[in-house]
């Protein structure tokens, strides 16, 4: 609902796709797909989009009755570097079976869609909602079993439990979301496959002071429990004052306050002051941007840091069946492997989806992330810099409105000033999605 910056350890198995709202939204929780921290997007291992028609017609979203449905995700992947390390490069085939059960009431369309790089294309945009009430309750559980052919010790059963709700009144909108995940997947910060559990809770509110002025408040708490790395807990308070400057242009000023604790490290507090703008001149084009400064204090030391943060995104639908997106960002995160270390992640990503035939879609996506580690005062670890690059090609075919098959290839590489995190990786994947 407003601009913001979240934090968390670098993970190659989570992704957050920002959605243009009032004025912008860059604070997203982790999802069971790849990313660095939950707000530093990285490519999903095997995600290609299905049609918007499938995403919006699968469930009768106009009804206020309860709906119960099940999902099934089947994947086969070849990975030539399962531990994302050139020092001990090993390849393998692995299979994933992910059944899920969900139920919801109201307008929960944003949850009944593919979880991939194109999420924001299927989200309900503010100018599409109008005066319609968007009350909903949605809950889902997905079990994700991954089995390796030659490395059975890496077999894992992951879980994803989500409860989300929103209630809209005449001028006030309230939302509550809670999520629990366990993930066994590569982590670039660590330079290996890791096991972790993630708990996230958020409460947000939007109040319209007048026809053109609104206030957004979002409270978010994220706890990460690692099996062998550094646990962390972060609380963030986002506050935005928004104003509709023109019919299709919204501007805002935001203040964010955060408190971060990391195992075996001094705690940190930070404040952010940002300006944001959202511009949607047509139904086919939208731009969002936010940027400002962050002042971060490290407790138990005299170290205070002043830096910049920003987020930029654009979505363009030039022709029928063509979707183009661009995102860029800069933010500070904490390391899950080096006590007392932070890093600044600056990245850019682009994606194109093209309908080739009536039910066949092609996707091309890629991105670059620069991560510069900067120890807080008192840290004893060597300085590190990473340059991560990825590109993915994919084809998706919709058998019906409730089933599709995806084929994708992805190349990734990370060049680091330290040998351990450096890796080059090729992945090939076949995936079948079914919604009952």
Q: pLDDT per residue over 96-139, tens digit each?
A: 999 999 998 887 766 655 444 333 222 333 333 333 447 999 99
Cα 247 to the chain's mean position, in Å? 29
Alpha-carbon distances, residue 115 vs 85, 180, 337 (angstroms) = 27, 16, 28
Q: How far apart are CA 301 and CA 377, in angstroms?
A: 6
Class of the CATH-defined domain 52-435: mainly beta
- Per-residue pLDDT band for 397 (boundaries 50, 70, 90) equals very high
Give tens-digit pLDDT for 164-222.
Answer: 999 999 999 999 999 999 999 999 999 999 999 999 999 999 999 999 999 999 999 99
Model pTM score: 0.80
Give tens-digit pLDDT for 304-345.
Answer: 889 999 999 999 999 989 999 999 999 999 999 999 889 999
Q: How far apart are CA 53 and CA 122, in angstroms?
A: 9
CB atoms within 10 A of CB 254: 23
Average pLDDT over residues 412-434: 94
Residue spans of alpha helices (H) in 150-283: none
């Amino acid at each position: 609902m407003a601009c913001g910056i979240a934090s968390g350890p670098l993970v190659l198995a989570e992704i957050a796709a920002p959605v243009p709202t009032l004025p912008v939204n860059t604070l997203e929780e982790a999802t069971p797909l790849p990313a660095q921290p939950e707000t530093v997007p990285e490519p999903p291992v095997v995600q290609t989009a299905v049609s918007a028609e499938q995403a919006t017609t699968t469930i009768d979203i106009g009804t206020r009755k309860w709906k119960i449905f099940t999902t099934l995700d089947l994947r086969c992947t070849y990975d030539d570097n399962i531990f994302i390390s050139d020092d001990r490069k090993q390849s393998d085939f692995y299979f994933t079976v992910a059944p899920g059960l969900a139920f919801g009431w109201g307008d929960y369309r944003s949850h009944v869609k593919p979880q991939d790089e194109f999420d924001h294309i299927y989200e309900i945009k503010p100018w599409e909602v109008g005066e319609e009430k968007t009350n909903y309750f949605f809950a889902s559980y997905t079990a994700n079993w991954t089995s390796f052919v030659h490395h059975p010790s890496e077999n894992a059963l992951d879980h994803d439990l989500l409860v989300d709700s929103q209630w809209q009144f005449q001028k006030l909108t309230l939302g509550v979301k809670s999520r629990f995940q366990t993930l066994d997947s590569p982590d670039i910060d660590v330079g290996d496959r890791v096991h972790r559990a993630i708990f996230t809770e958020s409460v947000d509110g939007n109040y319209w002071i007048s026809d053109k002025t609104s206030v957004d408040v979002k409270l978010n708490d994220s706890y990460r429990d690692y099996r062998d790395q550094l646990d962390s807990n972060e609380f963030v308070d986002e506050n935005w004052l928004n104003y509709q400057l023109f019919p299709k242009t919204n501007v805002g000023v935001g203040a964010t306050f955060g408190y971060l604790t990391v195992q075996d490290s001094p705690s940190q507090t930070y404040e952010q002051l940002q300006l944001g703008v959202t511009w949607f001149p047509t139904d086919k084009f939208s731009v969002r941007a936010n940027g400002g400064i962050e002042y971060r204090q490290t407790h138990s030391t005299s170290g205070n840091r002043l830096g910049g943060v920003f987020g930029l995104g654009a979505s363009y639908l030039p022709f029928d069946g063509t979707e183009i997106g661009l995102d860029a960002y800069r933010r500070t995160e904490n390391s899950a492997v080096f006590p007392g270390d932070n890093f600044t992640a600056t990245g850019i990503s682009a994606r194109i989806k093209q309908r080739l035939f009536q039910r066949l879609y092609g996707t091309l996506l890629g991105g670059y992330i620069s991560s510069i580690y900067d120890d807080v005062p008192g840290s004893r670890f060597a300085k590190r810099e990473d340059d991560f690059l990825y590109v993915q090609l994919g084809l998706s075919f919709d058998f019906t409105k409730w089933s599709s098959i995806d084929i994708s290839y992805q190349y990734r590489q990370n060049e680091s000033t330290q040998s351990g995190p450096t890796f080059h990786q090729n992945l090939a994947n076949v995936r079948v999605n079914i919604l009952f």
